[in-house]
Structure 1
Amino acid sequence: RLPRADWGKAAAHSGLGVVFIGISCLMAWDVEDIRVARVGESFDVGGYTITLDSVDEVEGPNYIATVATMRATKDGREVALLHPEKRIYPVAAMPTTEAAIANGLWRDLYVVIGDPQADGGWAVRTYVKPFANWIWAGAILMAFGGALSLSDRRYRVAAGARRAPALAQPAE
Structure 2
Amino acid sequence: WTLQTGQSLHGPIGMFLGAWLISGAMMELILRLGQSLDFSRLLRLPRADWGKFTAHSGLGVTMAGIAGIMAWQAEDIRVVNVGDTWDLGGYEFTLEDVRQERGPNYFTTMADIRLAKNGTELALMNPEKRNYPVAQMPTTEAAIDYNMMRDVYVVIGDPQADGGWAVRTYIKPMANWIWLGSALMALGGLISLTDRRFRVAAGARKQNTIGGVPAE
TM over 0.5: yes
The structure that is helix-richer by fraction is: 2
CA distance in structure 1 between the partners assigned to 2:74 and 2:202 by the alignment: 53
Report 1:3-22 matches (<5 A).
3-22=46-65
**Partner residue in 1 for 2:141:** 98
* SS of the residue 1:55 aligns to: strand
Unaligned runs of 5+ in 2: 1-43
Per-residue deviation, 1:134: 0.3
CA distance in structure 1 between the partners assigned to 2:148 and 2:197 by the alignment: 37
Per-residue deviation, 1:160: 3.6
* SS of the residue 2:134 aligns to: coil
**Partner residue in 2 for 1:161:** 203
Tell whether 2:113 aligns with 1:70: yes
Report 1:1-172 matches (<5 A).
1-156=44-199, 160-162=202-204
The structure that is strand-richer by fraction is: 1
In percent, how many aligned pairs have the same letter?
Answer: 62
Which digits, 9 at most, give the CA deviation of each residue in 1:75-117, with x for residues without a partner?
Answer: 1111111000000011122110000000111100000000000
Which digits, 9 at most, give the CA deviation of each residue in 1:7-58, with x for residues without a partner?
Answer: 1011001101100000001110000100000001000011111000000100
Q: Which runs of 4+ in 1 moved over 4 A?
A: 162-168
Per-residue deviation, 1:165: 5.9
Q: Which has the higher contact order (CA 8 A, sep 6+)?
A: 1
CA distance in structure 2 between the partners assigned to 1:95 and 1:165 by the alignment: 63
TM-score normalized by structure 1? Answer: 0.92
CA distance in structure 2 between the partners assigned to 1:135 and 1:15 by the alignment: 9
Pick closer, same or farther for the CA change 1:162–1:37 going to 2, 3 Å.
same
Which digits, 9 at most, give the CA deviation of each residue in 1:130-155, with x for residues without a partner?
Answer: 00000000001111101100111112
2:101 partner letter: V
CA distance in structure 2 between the partners assigned to 1:27 and 1:160 by the alignment: 43
Q: CA RMSD in A?
A: 1.8
CA distance in structure 2 between the partners assigned to 1:100 and 1:83 by the alignment: 6
Q: Aligned residues, how many?
A: 168
CA distance in structure 1 between the partners assigned to 2:198 and 2:154 by the alignment: 48
Unaligned runs of 5+ in 1: none
* SS of the residue 1:134 aligns to: helix
